[in-house]
A = this chain, B = another copy of it.
Amino acid sequence: MRVLALLDGTLVDPETPLFRADDLGVTRGDGVFETILVADREPRELAAHLDRMQRSARLMQLPLPDRAAWLRAVQAVVDAWPWDQERELALKLVCTRGIDGGDGTPHGFALGSSIEAGTLRKREQGVSAVTLERGYEPDLMERAPWLLLSAKTLSYAVNMAAMREAESRGADEVIFTAADGSVLEGPTSTVVLARGDELLTTPPSSGILEGTTQGALFRTAERAGWRTRAEKFPVADLHSADGVWLASSVRLITQVRSIDGSPVRADPQLHAELARLYESNYGTG
Q: A residues near B, CB below 8 A?
A: 2, 4, 14-31, 33, 59-61, 92, 94, 96, 100-101, 109, 111, 113, 116, 132-137, 140, 143-148, 151, 153-162, 164-165, 179
Given the known A-B contacts A147-B135, A158-B148, are A19 and B19 also in contact in the complex, defined by CB atoms under 8 Å?
Answer: yes
Of B21, B60, B111, B164, which is within 8 A of A18 by CB? B21
Chain B residues closer than 8 Å to A31, beta-carbon distance: 157
The residue among A60, A113, A161 with the most chain B CB atoms within 10 A of its own CB is A161
Chain B residues closer than 8 Å to A26, beta-carbon distance: 19, 23, 25-26, 94, 96, 154
Given the known A-B contacts A140-B135, A146-B158, are A21 and B30 also in contact in the complex, defined by CB atoms under 8 Å?
Answer: no
Number of copies: 2
> Does the CB pair A113–B16 fall under 8 Å?
no
4 additional contacts (CB under 8 A) given A15-B20, A135-B140: A19-B19, A22-B113, A135-B136, A155-B158
> Does the CB pair B157–A157 fall under 8 Å?
no
Chain B residues closer than 8 Å to A133, beta-carbon distance: 140, 143-144, 147
A29 to B32, CA, bound (A): 11
> Does the CB pair B20–A18 fall under 8 Å?
yes
> Does the CB pair B14–A22 fall under 8 Å?
yes
Chain B residues closer than 8 Å to A147, beta-carbon distance: 133-135, 158, 161
A16 to B23, CA, bound (A): 11
Given the known A-B contacts A17-B17, A21-B4, are A157 and B161 also in contact in the complex, defined by CB atoms under 8 Å?
Answer: no
Chain B residues closer than 8 Å to A2, beta-carbon distance: 22
The residue among A61, A155, A164 with the most chain B CB atoms within 10 A of its own CB is A155
> Does the CB pair B160–A30 fall under 8 Å?
yes
> Does the CB pair B27–A61 fall under 8 Å?
no
Chain B residues closer than 8 Å to A154, beta-carbon distance: 26-29, 155, 157
> Does the CB pair B18–A161 fall under 8 Å?
no
A96 to B94, CA, bound (A): 17
